[in-house]
Structure 1
């Protein structure tokens, strides 16, 4: 098999292909997307921190000046939302936005959320156990981070059912060469979410509460588009990865029953287990960067104006960094995985994600000690944001 992100067999198990890329062609040009694939941990880690690359190029050149076609007009609403969030901008705009939003993600503030996260996770697992199991993704993995981020933002209870579909649809645009239908679906979702948030932010500006939207609405140097883009990013980043770490993680444990039993027998291993599950079956397989100046990687010249595709899933299995990398080890102590990225775009919500995962896995280990897989799951077709369609389990 070769690198083929549209092949379901590759999506289900890309790791043998990654091993061959790291060995034989650590920097390779992938014609279908016009990107250079970067597969070794050292290179991925270095390029994430290299300011000669960026998530965007619009701070240095217009589309035409950079040799790129502008997005089609129908995508304007999507990019207006996305380009106003901190993930897809570069300094100095990124610096300003991250400084403003990071005030809501101080270590003390995030840690203060733990009791509430534990309460939500415990309630979801209690209900799941009472039903004897079901789809772990739909009943536990998805509601937890959505509820947490919705409470942080101040989304009314009656509207929270809208968030997960909007997020899933918006993320369709991040796959490689998305279909026309996926593009239109993502644009519609972005427009609907933006309209919803604008109305809510205007209400909170007049009558603020104790929530993040209220706090952001009071900041004069934050434009309405930036507020919307920030909230959309917090929702998408705040739960897509957490959902997939939960699903991929339990599927990984079921495939490695000795490690699952080890974790059940010694729950003090949970912190290292969470990190290992993020490494072993990475939820975000690829992260892209634009090359803003000519660079050279592993002796390969990469010109300005193209994209590099940083293969997180490959970097996290690199034997140069991880001992016996293809083995799941819930007690792995030395684990410099890059699932949260690196450099100025390192995931701002990483501490919160870790709390959610700790409480979710902890509640399931405690309350569902006999959790068993009902049937082998199927992977969603997406490669970049990689997760399962469902995970059917029984609790007794």
Structure 2
């Protein structure tokens, strides 16, 4: 098998291919996407921190100056939303946005959400167990982060069914060479989501509450505030980045545990005994072993050299997180799932200035989710082997049918 992100067999089993790339072709050009694949942990780590690369190049050059085709005009609603958030911008804009958002999205605020997250996870897990099981993705993994982010943003319960489809469709744009139908769905979702949030933000500016939209609307630093577009872009990012990854991490994590029953027994015992330390290291290891974000891309803003290979300005590098997280140069016996692994320098949340701001929230959601399910259904088991969704960059299961008795 070779690297082929559109091949369902590769998406399901990429790790042998990664091993070949690390050993034989750690830096290699992939013509179908016009990208340089970077497979080793040390190189991915270094490039994530290297300011000669960026999530965008538009702060230093136009599309034409960078040798790239301009985006179609009809893409504008999508990129207006995305580039108003911090994910696809670089300093000094990124620095300013992250500073402002961090004033509202503090570690203390995130930790204060733990009791509410535990209550939501317990309710979902109990309902799942009482009915004897079902599709864990649809019935537990998806509702939990949507409910949490909707609570945070102050989205009324009557509107929450809109969030998951919007998030799903917007994330289609981040797959490699997305088909036209997916692009149109992403643009449409961005337009609808932005319009909805614009109306909600206006209401919160007039009558502030204790929700995150109200806090973001009021946050200030030396007179600087988020614009309305930046507020909307930030809220969209919080949903898309925090939701898609958490759903896929939950499904991937359970599938990993069923393939490693000794480690499932270990986690079951930790939950039973209240061993929060092992639950926390288990979350880190599950994120490493089968990371939901297999690849992140960066633009080369100045000529660089990686392992003797020159990569010129204007190129795009594809940083293979899934490969880096299985690198034997960094992880002992990397293909073994070890829920007590420590240290565990995985890069599933990125590194450098773009390190995921929502990482602490995602870890709490995952720890509470796994714990709630094992408390409600300690003998949970697999009904049928799951299938992978076709997407590669955001890699996850279509469904995960389980029984609880």
- TM-score over 0.5 for the pair: yes
The aligned residue for residue 37 of structure 2 is 37
- What is the CA-CA distance between 1:176 and the residue it aligns to? 0.1
- Distance in 2 between residues matched to 1:125 and 1:262, nearest whole Å: 20
Correspondence list, 1:304-319, <5 A: 304-319=313-328
1:366-390 deviation digits (Å, cap 9, x = unpaired): 1110100110000000000000000
- What is the CA-CA distance between 1:112 and the residue it aligns to? 0.7
- Distance in 2 between residues matched to 1:14 and 1:365, nearest whole Å: 29
The aligned residue for residue 72 of structure 1 is 72
Corresponding residue to 2:333 among 295, 302, 324: 324
2:245 pairs with 1:236? no
Correspondence list, 1:154-233, <5 A: 154-219=154-219, 221-233=225-237
1:321-363 deviation digits (Å, cap 9, x = unpaired): 0000001111111210000000000000111111111100011
Count of residues paired in the alignment: 396
Given that 2:218 and 2:225 are in contact with CA atoms closer than 8 Å, whether structure 1 keeps it comes out as no
SS in 1 for 2:28: strand
- What is the CA-CA distance between 1:104 and the residue it aligns to? 2.2
- What is the CA-CA distance between 1:265 and the residue it aligns to? 2.2
The aligned residue for residue 304 of structure 2 is 295
The aligned residue for residue 378 of structure 2 is 369
- Distance in 2 between residues matched to 1:93 and 1:266, nearest whole Å: 44
Corresponding residue to 1:252 among 251, 256, 279: 256
SS in 2 for 1:388: coil
Given that 1:202 and 1:217 are in contact with CA atoms closer than 8 Å, whether structure 2 keeps it comes out as no
The aligned residue for residue 51 of structure 1 is 51
2:275 pairs with 1:271? no
- What is the CA-CA distance between 1:54 and the residue it aligns to? 0.2
- What is the CA-CA distance between 1:130 and the residue it aligns to? 1.1
1:25-63 deviation digits (Å, cap 9, x = unpaired): 100000000000000000000000000000000111111
Given that 2:26 and 2:38 are in contact with CA atoms closer than 8 Å, whether structure 1 keeps it comes out as yes
- What is the CA-CA distance between 1:221 and the residue it aligns to? 2.6
Of 55-64 and 378-387, the range deviating more from structure 2 = 55-64
Given that 1:57 and 1:292 are in contact with CA atoms closer than 8 Å, whether structure 2 keeps it comes out as yes
Corresponding residue to 2:345 among 332, 336, 348: 336
Given that 2:100 and 2:225 are in contact with CA atoms closer than 8 Å, whether structure 1 keeps it comes out as no
2:22 pairs with 1:22? yes
1:76-125 deviation digits (Å, cap 9, x = unpaired): 10011111110000011101110111122222111111111101100111
2:20 pairs with 1:11? no
Unaligned runs of 5+ in 2: none
1:132-182 deviation digits (Å, cap 9, x = unpaired): 110101111111111111111111111001000000000000000000000
- Distance in 2 between residues matched to 1:380 and 1:335, nearest whole Å: 27
Corresponding residue to 1:385 among 369, 394, 402: 394
- Distance in 2 between residues matched to 1:204 and 1:22, nearest whole Å: 50
Residues 207 and 266 of structure 1: CA distance in aligned 2, closer, same or farther (over 3 Å): closer
RMSD, aligned CA:
0.9
